[in-house]
Structure 1
Amino acid sequence: MLRERPRYTLNLPKNRRMELGPRTLVMGILNVTPDSFSDGGLFLDPDKAVRHAREMIEAGADILDIGGESTRPFSDPVPLEEELRRTIPVIRAIREFTDIPISIDTTKAEVARQALDAGADIINDVSALRFDPEMAEVAAERNVPVILMHMLGTPKTMQENPTYRSVVSEIIAFLDSRIEYAISKGIKFENIIVDPGIGFGKTVNHNLQIIRNLDAFHSLERPILLGASRKRFIGAILGTPPEDRETGLAAVNTYAITSGVHILRVHDVRFHLQVVRMTESIMMGYADSDK
Protein backbone atom coordinates (compact mmCIF):
# COMPACT_ATOMS: atom_id res chain seq x y z
CA MET A 1 0.00 0.00 0.00
CA LEU A 2 1.30 3.47 -0.89
CA ARG A 3 1.27 5.88 2.01
CA GLU A 4 0.53 9.56 1.42
CA ARG A 5 3.25 11.49 3.20
CA PRO A 6 1.94 13.90 5.87
CA ARG A 7 3.15 17.47 5.48
CA TYR A 8 5.03 19.40 8.13
CA THR A 9 6.96 22.66 8.29
CA LEU A 10 10.21 23.06 10.22
CA ASN A 11 11.27 26.49 11.38
CA LEU A 12 15.02 26.99 10.98
CA PRO A 13 17.25 29.78 12.32
CA LYS A 14 17.28 33.16 10.55
CA ASN A 15 13.57 32.91 9.75
CA ARG A 16 14.01 30.08 7.27
CA ARG A 17 11.50 27.28 6.76
CA MET A 18 11.81 23.75 5.45
CA GLU A 19 8.80 21.98 4.02
CA LEU A 20 8.56 18.25 4.65
CA GLY A 21 6.15 16.13 2.69
CA PRO A 22 5.85 17.36 -0.91
CA ARG A 23 8.76 15.02 -1.76
CA THR A 24 11.23 12.85 0.11
CA LEU A 25 14.27 14.84 1.21
CA VAL A 26 17.81 13.49 1.03
CA MET A 27 20.24 14.15 3.88
CA GLY A 28 23.91 13.77 2.97
CA ILE A 29 26.21 12.23 5.59
CA LEU A 30 29.50 13.99 6.33
CA ASN A 31 31.48 12.06 8.94
CA VAL A 32 34.58 13.96 10.03
CA THR A 33 35.87 10.97 11.97
CA PRO A 34 38.73 8.49 11.64
CA ASP A 35 36.64 5.45 12.50
CA SER A 36 33.09 5.58 11.13
CA PHE A 37 32.11 2.15 9.80
CA SER A 38 31.78 3.18 6.14
CA ASP A 39 33.76 6.37 5.46
CA GLY A 40 35.99 6.67 8.52
CA GLY A 41 39.08 8.75 7.78
CA LEU A 42 38.00 9.85 4.31
CA PHE A 43 36.93 13.34 5.38
CA LEU A 44 38.80 13.86 8.64
CA ASP A 45 40.86 16.57 6.92
CA PRO A 46 38.74 19.77 6.99
CA ASP A 47 39.53 20.69 3.38
CA LYS A 48 38.45 17.26 2.15
CA ALA A 49 35.31 17.48 4.28
CA VAL A 50 34.36 20.84 2.80
CA ARG A 51 35.03 19.60 -0.74
CA HIS A 52 32.79 16.61 -0.11
CA ALA A 53 30.09 18.93 1.24
CA ARG A 54 30.28 20.92 -2.01
CA GLU A 55 29.97 17.70 -4.00
CA MET A 56 26.87 16.61 -2.08
CA ILE A 57 25.29 20.05 -2.48
CA GLU A 58 26.02 20.02 -6.22
CA ALA A 59 24.48 16.53 -6.38
CA GLY A 60 21.26 17.96 -4.90
CA ALA A 61 21.40 17.25 -1.16
CA ASP A 62 18.58 18.87 0.80
CA ILE A 63 20.35 18.68 4.19
CA LEU A 64 23.90 17.98 5.38
CA ASP A 65 24.43 15.94 8.55
CA ILE A 66 27.84 16.55 10.11
CA GLY A 67 29.23 14.35 12.85
CA GLY A 68 32.56 14.19 14.66
CA GLU A 69 32.02 11.07 16.78
CA SER A 70 31.51 7.58 15.42
CA THR A 71 28.47 5.76 16.78
CA ARG A 72 29.26 2.45 15.09
CA PRO A 73 28.73 -0.66 17.25
CA PHE A 74 31.25 -1.03 20.10
CA SER A 75 32.71 2.45 19.57
CA ASP A 76 33.98 4.61 22.44
CA PRO A 77 33.00 8.25 23.08
CA VAL A 78 35.19 11.05 21.74
CA PRO A 79 36.43 13.79 24.12
CA LEU A 80 34.53 17.07 23.86
CA GLU A 81 37.45 19.15 22.60
CA GLU A 82 38.27 16.65 19.87
CA GLU A 83 34.67 16.53 18.64
CA LEU A 84 34.60 20.34 18.57
CA ARG A 85 37.91 20.44 16.70
CA ARG A 86 36.57 18.10 14.03
CA THR A 87 33.18 19.67 13.42
CA ILE A 88 33.08 23.41 14.11
CA PRO A 89 35.64 24.59 11.49
CA VAL A 90 33.90 22.48 8.84
CA ILE A 91 30.48 23.96 9.64
CA ARG A 92 31.90 27.49 9.55
CA ALA A 93 33.60 26.83 6.20
CA ILE A 94 30.44 25.40 4.64
CA ARG A 95 28.42 28.36 5.86
CA GLU A 96 30.68 30.69 3.89
CA PHE A 97 29.24 29.48 0.56
CA THR A 98 25.78 27.99 1.20
CA ASP A 99 22.69 28.29 3.36
CA ILE A 100 21.76 24.60 3.01
CA PRO A 101 20.24 23.26 6.26
CA ILE A 102 22.92 21.62 8.40
CA SER A 103 22.31 19.18 11.23
CA ILE A 104 24.94 18.48 13.87
CA ASP A 105 25.11 14.80 14.74
CA THR A 106 26.09 14.81 18.41
CA THR A 107 25.02 13.75 21.89
CA LYS A 108 26.93 16.57 23.61
CA ALA A 109 25.15 19.81 24.46
CA GLU A 110 28.30 21.94 24.14
CA VAL A 111 29.00 20.58 20.66
CA ALA A 112 25.41 21.33 19.66
CA ARG A 113 25.66 24.84 21.13
CA GLN A 114 28.86 25.72 19.31
CA ALA A 115 27.67 24.09 16.09
CA LEU A 116 24.53 26.24 16.13
CA ASP A 117 26.71 29.29 16.75
CA ALA A 118 28.80 28.28 13.72
CA GLY A 119 25.74 28.00 11.48
CA ALA A 120 24.09 24.62 12.04
CA ASP A 121 20.28 24.51 12.06
CA ILE A 122 19.23 21.13 13.46
CA ILE A 123 20.35 18.89 16.33
CA ASN A 124 20.57 15.18 15.49
CA ASP A 125 20.86 13.35 18.82
CA VAL A 126 21.13 9.56 18.56
CA SER A 127 20.50 9.34 22.32
CA ALA A 128 17.15 11.17 22.05
CA LEU A 129 18.32 13.69 24.70
CA ARG A 130 19.36 10.97 27.19
CA PHE A 131 23.16 11.22 27.32
CA ASP A 132 23.60 14.91 28.16
CA PRO A 133 21.05 16.52 30.50
CA GLU A 134 21.77 19.95 29.00
CA MET A 135 20.94 18.96 25.41
CA ALA A 136 17.20 19.55 25.76
CA GLU A 137 17.91 22.98 27.23
CA VAL A 138 20.06 23.92 24.23
CA ALA A 139 17.41 22.77 21.76
CA ALA A 140 14.66 24.64 23.62
CA GLU A 141 16.65 27.86 24.05
CA ARG A 142 17.67 27.95 20.41
CA ASN A 143 14.22 26.87 19.19
CA VAL A 144 15.70 24.56 16.54
CA PRO A 145 14.49 21.22 15.16
CA VAL A 146 15.78 18.14 16.98
CA ILE A 147 15.97 14.57 15.69
CA LEU A 148 15.14 11.99 18.36
CA MET A 149 16.46 8.51 17.57
CA HIS A 150 15.87 5.17 19.23
CA MET A 151 18.93 3.31 20.47
CA LEU A 152 19.10 0.34 22.82
CA GLY A 153 21.80 1.19 25.38
CA THR A 154 24.91 2.97 24.08
CA PRO A 155 27.04 2.51 20.94
CA LYS A 156 29.46 0.51 23.09
CA THR A 157 26.79 -1.96 24.25
CA MET A 158 23.86 -1.73 21.82
CA GLN A 159 24.70 -4.85 19.78
CA GLU A 160 25.21 -7.11 22.79
CA ASN A 161 22.22 -9.44 22.30
CA PRO A 162 19.52 -6.81 21.54
CA THR A 163 16.15 -8.22 22.62
CA TYR A 164 12.56 -6.99 22.27
CA ARG A 165 9.16 -8.50 22.87
CA SER A 166 7.69 -6.40 20.06
CA VAL A 167 10.32 -4.29 18.37
CA VAL A 168 8.06 -1.86 16.49
CA SER A 169 5.64 -1.14 19.34
CA GLU A 170 8.50 -0.77 21.83
CA ILE A 171 10.34 1.71 19.64
CA ILE A 172 7.18 3.72 19.05
CA ALA A 173 6.53 3.79 22.81
CA PHE A 174 10.13 4.90 23.43
CA LEU A 175 9.92 7.71 20.86
CA ASP A 176 6.56 8.81 22.23
CA SER A 177 8.06 9.05 25.72
CA ARG A 178 11.04 11.05 24.40
CA ILE A 179 8.70 13.42 22.59
CA GLU A 180 6.87 13.98 25.88
CA TYR A 181 10.19 14.55 27.65
CA ALA A 182 11.33 17.02 25.00
CA ILE A 183 8.09 18.98 25.28
CA SER A 184 8.39 19.02 29.08
CA LYS A 185 11.79 20.71 28.65
CA GLY A 186 10.42 23.43 26.41
CA ILE A 187 11.05 21.96 22.96
CA LYS A 188 8.14 22.63 20.63
CA PHE A 189 6.25 19.63 19.29
CA GLU A 190 6.54 20.99 15.76
CA ASN A 191 10.34 21.04 16.09
CA ILE A 192 10.65 17.27 16.61
CA ILE A 193 11.66 14.65 14.01
CA VAL A 194 11.74 10.93 14.85
CA ASP A 195 14.17 8.23 13.73
CA PRO A 196 13.59 4.52 14.52
CA GLY A 197 17.36 3.97 14.69
CA ILE A 198 18.15 1.28 12.14
CA GLY A 199 21.16 -0.69 13.33
CA PHE A 200 21.29 0.87 16.80
CA GLY A 201 20.66 -2.12 19.04
CA LYS A 202 18.82 -4.25 16.49
CA THR A 203 19.38 -7.61 14.82
CA VAL A 204 18.97 -8.11 11.08
CA ASN A 205 15.37 -9.22 11.57
CA HIS A 206 14.61 -6.33 13.93
CA ASN A 207 15.72 -3.90 11.22
CA LEU A 208 13.60 -5.67 8.61
CA GLN A 209 10.53 -5.57 10.88
CA ILE A 210 11.02 -1.84 11.46
CA ILE A 211 11.31 -1.10 7.74
CA ARG A 212 8.35 -3.34 6.92
CA ASN A 213 6.24 -1.40 9.45
CA LEU A 214 7.44 2.16 8.86
CA ASP A 215 3.85 3.18 8.25
CA ALA A 216 3.15 2.61 11.97
CA PHE A 217 5.53 5.41 12.97
CA HIS A 218 3.15 7.98 11.49
CA SER A 219 1.08 7.47 14.66
CA LEU A 220 3.62 9.76 16.38
CA GLU A 221 2.45 12.61 14.10
CA ARG A 222 6.02 13.78 13.49
CA PRO A 223 8.26 13.67 10.41
CA ILE A 224 10.16 10.39 10.02
CA LEU A 225 13.86 10.12 9.20
CA LEU A 226 15.37 6.82 8.11
CA GLY A 227 19.12 6.21 8.28
CA ALA A 228 19.84 2.77 6.81
CA SER A 229 22.76 3.80 4.62
CA ARG A 230 25.32 0.99 4.17
CA LYS A 231 24.24 -0.56 7.47
CA ARG A 232 25.44 -3.99 8.51
CA PHE A 233 22.07 -5.72 8.06
CA ILE A 234 22.25 -5.03 4.31
CA GLY A 235 25.68 -6.62 4.18
CA ALA A 236 24.46 -9.59 6.21
CA ILE A 237 21.66 -10.25 3.72
CA LEU A 238 23.60 -9.57 0.51
CA GLY A 239 27.10 -10.56 1.62
CA THR A 240 28.55 -7.19 0.59
CA PRO A 241 31.03 -4.78 2.23
CA PRO A 242 29.89 -1.24 3.19
CA GLU A 243 31.05 0.33 -0.08
CA ASP A 244 28.93 -2.13 -2.11
CA ARG A 245 25.57 -1.78 -0.37
CA GLU A 246 23.92 0.99 -2.41
CA THR A 247 21.76 -1.45 -4.39
CA GLY A 248 20.44 -3.04 -1.22
CA LEU A 249 19.90 0.39 0.28
CA ALA A 250 17.99 1.44 -2.83
CA ALA A 251 15.48 -1.32 -2.11
CA VAL A 252 15.19 -0.19 1.52
CA ASN A 253 14.77 3.46 0.57
CA THR A 254 12.24 2.68 -2.15
CA TYR A 255 10.09 0.88 0.40
CA ALA A 256 10.58 3.77 2.84
CA ILE A 257 9.44 6.31 0.25
CA THR A 258 6.25 4.35 -0.42
CA SER A 259 5.72 4.22 3.36
CA GLY A 260 5.75 8.02 3.62
CA VAL A 261 9.18 8.58 5.20
CA HIS A 262 10.18 12.25 5.01
CA ILE A 263 14.00 12.21 5.09
CA LEU A 264 16.52 9.61 3.92
CA ARG A 265 19.99 9.84 5.45
CA VAL A 266 22.53 8.57 2.90
CA HIS A 267 26.19 8.55 1.92
CA ASP A 268 25.67 8.65 -1.87
CA VAL A 269 23.42 11.64 -2.46
CA ARG A 270 23.31 11.54 -6.27
CA PHE A 271 22.39 7.85 -6.40
CA HIS A 272 19.57 8.12 -3.88
CA LEU A 273 18.12 11.28 -5.35
CA GLN A 274 17.64 9.17 -8.48
CA VAL A 275 15.95 6.52 -6.34
CA VAL A 276 13.64 9.18 -4.91
CA ARG A 277 12.80 10.70 -8.28
CA MET A 278 12.07 7.36 -9.95
CA THR A 279 10.03 5.98 -7.05
CA GLU A 280 7.95 9.13 -6.65
CA SER A 281 7.32 9.36 -10.40
CA ILE A 282 5.91 5.82 -10.28
CA MET A 283 3.81 6.67 -7.22
CA MET A 284 2.37 9.77 -8.93
CA GLY A 285 1.92 8.09 -12.30
CA TYR A 286 3.72 10.91 -14.12
CA ALA A 287 7.11 12.60 -14.28
CA ASP A 288 7.54 16.24 -13.32
CA SER A 289 9.25 16.83 -16.67
CA ASP A 290 6.26 15.51 -18.65
CA LYS A 291 2.96 16.04 -16.85
Structure 2
Amino acid sequence: MLRLRGREYDADTTLVMAIVNRTPDSFYDRGATWDGGAALERVRRVVAEGADIVDIGGIKAAPGEEVGVEEEKHRIVDFVAAVRAEFPHLVISVDTWRASVGRAVCEAGADLLNDAWGGYDPGLAEVAAEFGTALVCTHTGGVTPRTRPHRLHYEDVVREAVEDTVAQAERAVSLGVDPASAIIDPAHDFGKNTWHSLELTRRLDEMVATGRPVLVSLSNKDFVGETLDLPVGERLTGTLAATAVCAWHGAQIYRVHEVAETRQVLDMVATIRGVRPPARAVRGLA
Protein backbone atom coordinates (compact mmCIF):
# COMPACT_ATOMS: atom_id res chain seq x y z
CA MET A 1 0.00 0.00 0.00
CA LEU A 2 1.05 3.57 -0.73
CA ARG A 3 -0.32 6.54 1.18
CA LEU A 4 0.03 10.14 -0.10
CA ARG A 5 -1.82 13.17 1.21
CA GLY A 6 -4.22 10.93 3.09
CA ARG A 7 -5.12 8.93 -0.02
CA GLU A 8 -4.37 5.22 -0.22
CA TYR A 9 -3.32 3.36 -3.37
CA ASP A 10 -3.08 -0.39 -3.79
CA ALA A 11 0.03 -1.96 -5.28
CA ASP A 12 -1.49 -2.16 -8.78
CA THR A 13 -2.13 1.58 -9.01
CA THR A 14 0.54 3.48 -10.94
CA LEU A 15 1.13 7.20 -10.47
CA VAL A 16 2.74 9.71 -12.80
CA MET A 17 4.99 12.32 -11.17
CA ALA A 18 5.58 15.26 -13.50
CA ILE A 19 8.90 17.11 -13.29
CA VAL A 20 8.74 20.90 -12.85
CA ASN A 21 12.19 22.49 -12.78
CA ARG A 22 12.62 25.94 -11.23
CA THR A 23 16.15 26.10 -12.58
CA PRO A 24 17.78 28.06 -15.41
CA ASP A 25 20.04 25.18 -16.44
CA SER A 26 18.17 21.87 -16.38
CA PHE A 27 19.75 19.23 -18.61
CA TYR A 28 16.45 18.55 -20.37
CA ASP A 29 14.32 21.69 -20.60
CA ARG A 30 17.21 24.18 -20.53
CA GLY A 31 15.38 26.60 -18.27
CA ALA A 32 11.97 26.49 -19.97
CA THR A 33 10.21 26.72 -16.61
CA TRP A 34 12.71 28.97 -14.85
CA ASP A 35 10.19 31.84 -15.03
CA GLY A 36 7.48 31.47 -12.40
CA GLY A 37 4.68 32.04 -14.88
CA ALA A 38 6.01 29.39 -17.25
CA ALA A 39 6.45 26.97 -14.36
CA LEU A 40 2.85 27.45 -13.24
CA GLU A 41 1.67 26.90 -16.81
CA ARG A 42 3.67 23.69 -16.83
CA VAL A 43 1.85 22.55 -13.68
CA ARG A 44 -1.53 23.33 -15.25
CA ARG A 45 -0.62 21.46 -18.41
CA VAL A 46 0.64 18.29 -16.70
CA VAL A 47 -2.35 18.19 -14.38
CA ALA A 48 -4.61 18.41 -17.43
CA GLU A 49 -2.62 15.55 -19.00
CA GLY A 50 -3.24 13.38 -15.95
CA ALA A 51 -0.27 13.85 -13.64
CA ASP A 52 -0.97 12.53 -10.16
CA ILE A 53 2.00 14.30 -8.55
CA VAL A 54 4.17 17.27 -9.45
CA ASP A 55 7.81 17.20 -8.40
CA ILE A 56 9.28 20.69 -7.99
CA GLY A 57 13.03 21.15 -7.92
CA GLY A 58 15.25 24.19 -7.53
CA ILE A 59 18.70 22.72 -8.28
CA LYS A 60 19.76 20.63 -11.24
CA ALA A 61 21.32 17.30 -10.32
CA ALA A 62 24.44 17.70 -12.45
CA PRO A 63 27.48 19.76 -11.45
CA GLY A 64 27.15 23.47 -12.08
CA GLU A 65 26.78 26.82 -10.38
CA GLU A 66 26.59 26.56 -6.61
CA VAL A 67 23.07 27.10 -5.30
CA GLY A 68 22.93 27.94 -1.61
CA VAL A 69 20.13 27.18 0.83
CA GLU A 70 18.53 30.61 0.62
CA GLU A 71 18.62 30.66 -3.16
CA GLU A 72 17.04 27.20 -3.30
CA LYS A 73 14.28 28.39 -0.98
CA HIS A 74 13.80 31.53 -3.09
CA ARG A 75 13.28 29.39 -6.18
CA ILE A 76 10.73 26.95 -4.80
CA VAL A 77 9.04 27.87 -1.49
CA ASP A 78 6.69 30.58 -2.78
CA PHE A 79 6.10 28.52 -5.91
CA VAL A 80 5.00 25.53 -3.82
CA ALA A 81 2.59 27.82 -1.98
CA ALA A 82 1.20 29.11 -5.29
CA VAL A 83 0.67 25.58 -6.62
CA ARG A 84 -1.00 24.54 -3.38
CA ALA A 85 -3.35 27.54 -3.56
CA GLU A 86 -4.41 26.74 -7.13
CA PHE A 87 -4.50 22.95 -6.73
CA PRO A 88 -5.57 22.20 -3.15
CA HIS A 89 -5.89 18.43 -3.74
CA LEU A 90 -2.79 17.85 -5.89
CA VAL A 91 0.09 15.84 -4.39
CA ILE A 92 3.10 18.17 -4.35
CA SER A 93 6.60 16.72 -4.14
CA VAL A 94 9.81 18.70 -3.72
CA ASP A 95 13.17 17.46 -4.95
CA THR A 96 15.68 18.50 -2.28
CA TRP A 97 18.30 16.89 -0.09
CA ARG A 98 18.44 19.71 2.49
CA ALA A 99 16.48 19.48 5.73
CA SER A 100 16.11 23.26 6.09
CA VAL A 101 14.64 23.50 2.60
CA GLY A 102 12.41 20.53 3.31
CA ARG A 103 11.03 22.27 6.38
CA ALA A 104 10.28 25.45 4.43
CA VAL A 105 8.45 23.65 1.62
CA CYS A 106 6.44 21.52 4.05
CA GLU A 107 5.29 24.70 5.73
CA ALA A 108 4.31 25.97 2.26
CA GLY A 109 2.22 22.89 1.51
CA ALA A 110 4.43 20.07 0.17
CA ASP A 111 3.22 16.51 0.69
CA LEU A 112 6.31 14.53 -0.31
CA LEU A 113 10.06 15.07 0.05
CA ASN A 114 12.00 13.52 -2.82
CA ASP A 115 15.50 13.00 -1.42
CA ALA A 116 17.38 12.24 -4.62
CA TRP A 117 20.75 12.06 -2.83
CA GLY A 118 20.25 9.10 -0.54
CA GLY A 119 19.98 10.65 2.92
CA TYR A 120 22.97 12.93 2.52
CA ASP A 121 21.31 15.22 5.09
CA PRO A 122 19.85 12.82 7.68
CA GLY A 123 17.71 15.66 9.04
CA LEU A 124 15.43 15.48 6.01
CA ALA A 125 13.81 12.27 7.26
CA GLU A 126 13.23 13.96 10.59
CA VAL A 127 11.42 16.80 8.82
CA ALA A 128 9.25 14.32 6.93
CA ALA A 129 8.31 12.66 10.22
CA GLU A 130 7.56 15.99 11.90
CA PHE A 131 5.24 17.18 9.12
CA GLY A 132 3.70 13.82 8.28
CA THR A 133 4.89 13.90 4.69
CA ALA A 134 5.97 11.03 2.48
CA LEU A 135 9.67 10.49 1.79
CA VAL A 136 11.55 9.05 -1.18
CA CYS A 137 14.65 7.09 -0.10
CA THR A 138 17.19 6.68 -2.90
CA HIS A 139 20.35 4.68 -3.52
CA THR A 140 23.31 6.76 -4.68
CA GLY A 141 26.26 4.76 -3.43
CA GLY A 142 27.10 7.51 -0.95
CA VAL A 143 28.19 10.06 -3.55
CA THR A 144 28.20 13.77 -2.77
CA PRO A 145 25.23 15.71 -4.21
CA ARG A 146 25.76 17.12 -7.68
CA THR A 147 28.82 15.03 -8.50
CA ARG A 148 29.11 12.55 -11.33
CA PRO A 149 29.95 8.90 -10.70
CA HIS A 150 33.50 7.83 -11.49
CA ARG A 151 34.49 4.17 -11.70
CA LEU A 152 32.07 3.09 -8.99
CA HIS A 153 32.07 -0.61 -8.20
CA TYR A 154 29.35 -2.75 -6.63
CA GLU A 155 29.58 -6.46 -5.91
CA ASP A 156 25.84 -6.58 -6.64
CA VAL A 157 24.27 -3.22 -7.38
CA VAL A 158 20.71 -4.49 -6.95
CA ARG A 159 21.39 -6.09 -3.58
CA GLU A 160 23.14 -2.95 -2.36
CA ALA A 161 20.33 -0.72 -3.64
CA VAL A 162 17.74 -2.85 -1.87
CA GLU A 163 19.63 -2.96 1.41
CA ASP A 164 20.44 0.75 1.39
CA THR A 165 17.00 2.06 0.48
CA VAL A 166 15.20 -0.30 2.84
CA ALA A 167 17.51 0.78 5.67
CA GLN A 168 16.74 4.43 4.92
CA ALA A 169 13.02 3.69 4.86
CA GLU A 170 13.19 1.78 8.14
CA ARG A 171 15.03 4.68 9.77
CA ALA A 172 12.38 7.10 8.50
CA VAL A 173 9.61 4.91 9.88
CA SER A 174 11.40 4.70 13.24
CA LEU A 175 11.37 8.50 13.31
CA GLY A 176 7.64 8.63 12.65
CA VAL A 177 7.15 8.56 8.88
CA ASP A 178 4.07 6.55 7.91
CA PRO A 179 5.28 3.10 6.76
CA ALA A 180 3.01 3.40 3.70
CA SER A 181 4.66 6.72 2.83
CA ALA A 182 8.29 5.55 2.89
CA ILE A 183 9.10 5.08 -0.81
CA ILE A 184 12.26 3.55 -2.26
CA ASP A 185 14.02 4.49 -5.51
CA PRO A 186 17.01 2.73 -7.13
CA ALA A 187 18.03 6.14 -8.55
CA HIS A 188 19.04 5.30 -12.10
CA ASP A 189 22.24 7.13 -13.14
CA PHE A 190 22.85 8.52 -9.63
CA GLY A 191 26.08 6.98 -8.40
CA LYS A 192 25.90 4.46 -11.23
CA ASN A 193 27.16 3.76 -14.72
CA THR A 194 24.91 2.57 -17.55
CA TRP A 195 25.53 -1.11 -16.80
CA HIS A 196 24.36 -0.55 -13.21
CA SER A 197 21.18 1.22 -14.30
CA LEU A 198 20.37 -1.49 -16.82
CA GLU A 199 20.84 -4.18 -14.17
CA LEU A 200 18.53 -2.33 -11.79
CA THR A 201 15.89 -2.11 -14.51
CA ARG A 202 16.23 -5.80 -15.37
CA ARG A 203 15.91 -6.85 -11.73
CA LEU A 204 13.57 -4.18 -10.42
CA ASP A 205 11.21 -6.89 -9.19
CA GLU A 206 13.69 -7.50 -6.37
CA MET A 207 13.08 -3.98 -5.08
CA VAL A 208 9.33 -4.38 -5.48
CA ALA A 209 9.53 -7.64 -3.50
CA THR A 210 10.53 -5.65 -0.39
CA GLY A 211 6.91 -4.52 -0.11
CA ARG A 212 7.91 -0.86 -0.18
CA PRO A 213 6.37 1.38 -2.87
CA VAL A 214 8.97 1.82 -5.62
CA LEU A 215 9.59 5.03 -7.57
CA VAL A 216 11.66 5.14 -10.74
CA SER A 217 13.10 8.21 -12.43
CA LEU A 218 13.97 7.08 -15.95
CA SER A 219 13.03 10.05 -18.07
CA ASN A 220 15.67 10.93 -20.67
CA LYS A 221 18.44 9.62 -18.44
CA ASP A 222 22.01 9.03 -19.65
CA PHE A 223 21.67 5.25 -19.39
CA VAL A 224 18.96 5.49 -22.06
CA GLY A 225 21.08 7.80 -24.18
CA GLU A 226 24.19 5.64 -23.94
CA THR A 227 22.25 2.45 -24.65
CA LEU A 228 20.80 3.86 -27.87
CA ASP A 229 23.55 6.40 -28.64
CA LEU A 230 21.06 9.26 -28.60
CA PRO A 231 21.33 12.81 -27.25
CA VAL A 232 18.97 14.46 -24.79
CA GLY A 233 15.81 15.29 -26.69
CA GLU A 234 15.76 12.01 -28.63
CA ARG A 235 15.36 9.56 -25.76
CA LEU A 236 11.58 9.32 -25.38
CA THR A 237 11.17 5.93 -27.05
CA GLY A 238 13.97 4.41 -24.98
CA THR A 239 12.54 5.96 -21.83
CA LEU A 240 9.12 4.47 -22.54
CA ALA A 241 10.66 1.04 -23.18
CA ALA A 242 12.37 1.16 -19.78
CA THR A 243 9.11 2.41 -18.27
CA ALA A 244 7.25 -0.61 -19.63
CA VAL A 245 9.81 -2.99 -18.11
CA CYS A 246 9.60 -1.28 -14.72
CA ALA A 247 5.80 -1.30 -14.89
CA TRP A 248 5.80 -5.03 -15.61
CA HIS A 249 8.02 -5.52 -12.55
CA GLY A 250 5.63 -3.51 -10.35
CA ALA A 251 7.11 -0.03 -9.84
CA GLN A 252 4.40 2.33 -8.66
CA ILE A 253 5.55 5.94 -9.21
CA TYR A 254 7.17 7.27 -12.41
CA ARG A 255 8.99 10.62 -12.37
CA VAL A 256 8.78 11.92 -15.93
CA HIS A 257 8.96 14.82 -18.35
CA GLU A 258 6.33 13.43 -20.76
CA VAL A 259 3.09 12.73 -18.88
CA ALA A 260 0.59 11.65 -21.53
CA GLU A 261 2.96 9.19 -23.22
CA THR A 262 3.93 7.66 -19.88
CA ARG A 263 0.30 7.27 -18.83
CA GLN A 264 -0.48 5.37 -22.02
CA VAL A 265 2.43 2.98 -21.47
CA LEU A 266 1.45 2.37 -17.85
CA ASP A 267 -2.18 1.73 -18.76
CA MET A 268 -1.20 -0.64 -21.56
CA VAL A 269 1.10 -2.66 -19.32
CA ALA A 270 -1.51 -2.75 -16.54
CA THR A 271 -4.07 -4.09 -19.01
CA ILE A 272 -1.69 -6.75 -20.32
CA ARG A 273 -0.97 -7.76 -16.72
CA GLY A 274 -4.72 -8.11 -16.17
CA VAL A 275 -5.13 -5.48 -13.46
CA ARG A 276 -6.88 -2.90 -15.67
CA PRO A 277 -9.64 -3.50 -18.22
CA PRO A 278 -9.41 -2.04 -21.73
CA ALA A 279 -11.01 1.38 -22.05
CA ARG A 280 -13.31 -0.25 -24.59
CA ALA A 281 -13.43 -3.73 -26.11
CA VAL A 282 -15.84 -4.07 -29.02
CA ARG A 283 -13.70 -5.81 -31.63
CA GLY A 284 -15.33 -9.12 -32.58
CA LEU A 285 -18.30 -8.40 -30.34
CA ALA A 286 -20.36 -5.92 -32.33
Instruction: Please give the TM-score of this superposition, normalised by the length of structure 1.
Output: 0.90
Once residues 4 and 239 of structure 2 are traced to their aligned partners in structure 1, the CA distance between those partners, rounded to angstroms, is 30
Aligned-residue sequence identity (percent) comes to: 35
Contact 1:104 1:123 (8 Å CA) reproduced:
yes
Q: Which has the higher contact order (CA 8 A, sep 6+)?
A: 1
- Maintained 8 Å contact 2:158/2:203: yes
What residue number does 2:129 align with? 140
- Correspondence 1:42 to 2:32: yes
Select the residue among 97, 106, 125 that pairs with 2:115: 125
The CA RMSD measured in Å over matched residues stands at 1.8
2:3 to 10, 14, 18: 10
188 and 280 in structure 1: CA distance in 2 versus 1, 3 angstrom threshold: closer
Give the match's secondary structure for 1:103.
strand
Residue 52 of structure 1 aligns to a residue whose secondary structure is: helix
The answer to whether the 8 A contact 2:114-2:137 is kept is yes
Offset, 1:75? 4.2
How far the C-alpha of 1:77 sits from its partner, in A, is 4.8
Paired with 2:133 and 2:277, the residues of 1 have a C-alpha distance of 36
Distance 1:189 1:273, change over 3 A: same
Give 1:39 shift: 1.7
Query: In the aligned structure 2, how far is the partner of 1:66 from the partner of 1:204?
Result: 26
Q: Kindly report which structure 2 residues correspond to 1:69-88, keeping only aligned pairs within 5 A, or say none.
A: 69-72=59-62, 74-75=63-64, 77-88=66-77
| Aligned equivalents of 2:218, 2:38: Cα separation in 1 | 24
Secondary structure in structure 2 of the residue aligned to 1:244 = coil
Structure 1, residues 74-126: CA drift from partner, whole Å, max 9, x if none? 34652011111111122122122212101011011121111112111111111
Tell me, which stretches of 5 or more residues in structure 2 are unaligned?
A: none
Query: Which of 82, 94, 97 lines up with 2:86 in the alignment?
Result: 97
Q: What residue in structure 1 maps to residue 181 of structure 2?
A: 191
Letter matched to residue 220 of structure 1: T
Distance in 1, Cα, partners of 2:47 & 2:277: 26
**The 10-residue stretch of structure 1 (245-254 or 36-45) with the greater mean CA deviation from structure 2:** 36-45
Q: How does 1:100-249 map to 2 (within 5 A)?
A: 100-129=90-119, 131-152=120-141, 153-249=143-239
Unaligned runs of 5+ in 1: 1-7
Corresponding pairs, count: 279
Q: CA–CA distance in 1 between the matches of 2:105 and 2:38?
A: 19
Give the drift of 1:231: 0.2
Q: Check conservation: 1:151, 1:158, Cα contact below 8 A.
A: no
**Paired residue type of 1:208:** L
Shift of 1:42: 1.1
Deviations, residues 50-92 of structure 1 (Å, cap 9, x unaligned) = 00010000000011000101112x3465201111111112212
Tell me the residue number matched to 2:256: 266
Whether the 8 Å contact between 2:4 and 2:111 is mirrored in structure 1 is: no
